[in-house]
Amino acid sequence: MPTMKDIARRAGVSYGTVSNVLNKRGNVSARKIRLVEKAAEELGYSIHEKASDLRSNKRGDIAFVIPTLDDFKLRSLYNLLRKKLAGSDIRLNVYITDFNPVLEESYARLATRTHQVLIVNSCLQKAESLYKANAFLDSTLIFINSRLNLEQANVYQINFDSRQLEKDLLDYLKRCDCNNVLVFADNDVFADDFINIEQINYVKCSHPFNLSTAIDLLNERSYDAIIVTSTEKHQSIVSALQILKKPHVPNLLTLTADDMDFDSTSARYHIDLNPCVEHIESILHNSADTHHINLPFSGFLNVAAEHPLRDHIRLLMIESPATTALIKILPYMEQLLGFSIHVNVIKYNEYDRILASETQNDFDLIRIDMAYLPEIAGKIFKPLDGTFKTLTDKMIKPIKEYTDHGDTMYALPFDIACQVLMYRSDVLNNQRIRREYYEETRQADVVPTNYQDYNSLEAFIETHYGDIFKGSTVCTGSSITCGNEFMIRVSHPRILDEHGQLRHTDKAVADALKSYLKSVSKNNASHRFWDDVIKEYAEGHTVMSIVYSN
């Protein structure tokens, strides 16, 4: 097999240059990259990436060291992390210790040799004695609900605060007049103060909960309420009650991390794990601002503090994919809210019906396009008070154009569209292409962040690689798509003058129009809508595409 020295001799470059090109590092000119790639191809050389990984020993992969995947929090966290890492080079490897301290120590020591990051839910009584060892100093350690006393620069702790959960559960049990309660929970959910309450029979779950266990527990005594963690435990309890034919059916409450749970036989208390994933992501990117974070449980999904004042609400919606989606999940929404929802759908241009007084009297909520908000807001909508602003504060900025007319808030945003840049990372991260682009434009970043860079990259791709693929696409199938793709290129909102005409004498508007027409001139395909653009991009014919998505 040829060596790097052979490639260097054939290419007429140094050994170091060959090493930099094959290992994708260093500052090598586009000309030398082409020479090395050509020589390597002619000699039949192929770098063994796995061998490279072994030589560098540690990869950027993540080890997930946990006692069990039956724990509802850990299973959901694993699934969220797996989705977050999909498409990246980072692998998420799971080590199941089965609550065995010896296995945890063995797996953790093994994982730290080959993984840069360890996410650990420890079953050790004194985990500090293990993880403060020198073997772990070069790894980033993220502990989930482990509550250990270990202050080190490489250690992060994410815990779930059970105080609000316990308060809400006690209020729920009091409202339901429950004096005899079974709690079958994972190890780290409740504090000792809650577990030791007289009315509660607490059974610690350290192993999978199955139907046989449920039957044994329910045979011993009857309960007013049963609290379990995970839908699997809930199903076992329901099946056991059916088999035993108990005359008294207890209140069931399930702690869950699943948003979409259609089972109506149980109240559900939710934990949102997305903030946990976001904090892990900030740690991975070295942007975490704290080594300790306490995350709250979210609250009841389908138990109202008070009974609803009415048994239904009436919605008027405009025809759209989002409306179709809402109608499909109506059964879930009705179960969640505790009342029925009646939906009427009108065409996009039937706004005269909305302004009719009988229409306004027939509906409680009306969905409109934001373009009509100034015309309709004061005529049919009631102003919203300050409590609604706490919702919009968490959304994209600026949000007022979707919600306010003048200084008054009339609407909540629904189905907001945003512009999405899609690009082929395999092309834009190619070593040769990046170097050629830098030598031509003196721009180190290939991925565009504005339309000037977008046009520059598009021209570069069309010039040098136009015989292989297109630089970009535009959607010219309707006035809506043309208008949207043009207007987003203008750096300020004053596109039209007082007569509703295009401000073509304005430099920003004129530059944006030139930019748009330039992109149109390079595209010979006529895309009717943005799904056509996505299809062409997905088939690999285009390096970049910009679409609107809801």
Q: Letter for the amino acid at 354?
A: I
For residue 12, the model assigns a pLDDT of 92
Q: Is 407 left (phi over 0), alpha (psi -120 to 50) or beta?
A: alpha
Q: Measure the CA dihedral 426/430/433/436, to 10°.
A: 150
Query: Mean pLDDT over all residues of the chain?
Result: 82
Q: Three-state SS for 224?
A: coil
Q: In angstroms, rounded to a whole number, what is the distance separating the alpha carbons of residues 220 and 236?
A: 16
Residue 119 DSSP symbol = E
Q: In angstroms, rounded to a whole number, what is the distance separating the alpha carbons of residues 224 and 75?
A: 29
For residue 242, the model assigns a pLDDT of 85
Q: Letter for the amino acid at 286?
A: N
For residue 81, the model assigns a pLDDT of 93
For residue 168, the model assigns a pLDDT of 86
Name the pLDDT band for 78 (thresholds 50, 70, 90).
Answer: very high
All residues at 6 or more sequence positions from 247 whose CB lies less than 8 Å from its CB, including other chains: none
The pLDDT of residue 50 is above 70: no
Which range of 321-330, 493-502, 525-534 scores highest in mean pLDDT? It is 321-330
Specify the residue for token string 């005409």.
501
What tokens appear for 278 in the block? 């976001």
The pLDDT of residue 433 is above 80: yes
Q: What is the DSSP string of 480-508?
A: HHHHHHHHTT-SSS--B-TTS-B-TTSHH
| Helical packing angle, 15-22 and 4-11, nearest 10° | 110
Ordered domains of the chain (ranges, CATH): 4-47 (1.10.260.40), 56-161 (3.40.50.2300), 165-270 (3.40.50.2300), 312-402 (3.40.50), 418-549 (3.40.190.10)
The pLDDT of residue 262 is above 70: no
Name the pLDDT band for 140 (thresholds 50, 70, 90).
Answer: very high
Per-residue H/E/C for 378-402 = HHHCCCCCHHHHHHHCCCCCCCHHH
- Pairing type for strands 365-366 and 340-346 reads unpaired
What tokens appear for 508 in the block? 């920003």
Q: How many residues does the chain have?
A: 550
Query: Is residue 185 within 8 Å of 204, Cβ to Cβ?
Result: yes
What phi, psi does 27 have (nearest 5°)? -105, 90
Q: Answer with the residue of higher pLDDT: 232 or 125.
A: 125
Strand order in the sheet with 312-318: 340-346, 312-318, 365-366
Beta strands in 367-489 (DSSP E): 404-405, 408-409, 418-423
**Residues 425, 429, 435, 436: is their CA dihedral positive or negative?**
negative
What tokens appear for 136 in the block? 């772990």
Q: Percentage of residues in the chain with pLDDT exceeding 90?
A: 13
- Pairing type for strands 292-296 and 155-161 reads parallel
Q: Percentage of residues in the chain with pLDDT exceeding 70?
A: 89
Q: In angstroms, rounded to a whole number, what is the distance separating the alpha carbons of residues 264 and 428?
A: 49
What phi, psi does 465 have (nearest 5°)? -130, 20
Query: Is residue 108 within 8 Å of 131, Cβ to Cβ?
Result: yes
Q: In angstroms, rounded to a whole number, what is the distance separating the alpha carbons of residues 180 and 225?
A: 7
Query: Is residue 23 within 8 Å of 15, Cβ to Cβ?
Result: no
What tokens appear for 235 in the block? 């199903």
Q: What is the DSSP string of 153-169?
A: TTEEEEEEE-HHHHHHH
Name the pLDDT band for 53 (thresholds 50, 70, 90).
Answer: very low
- Pairing type for strands 115-120 and 59-66 reads parallel
For the segment 400-430, what is each residue's pLDDT rounded down to a tens digit? 777 888 888 898 887 767 788 899 988 898 8
Query: Is residue 476 within 8 Å of 482, Cβ to Cβ?
Result: yes
Query: Is residue 209 within 8 Å of 233, Cβ to Cβ?
Result: yes
Burial tier of 127 (Cβ tally within 10 Å: 0-12, 13-18, 19+): buried
**Model pTM?**
0.50
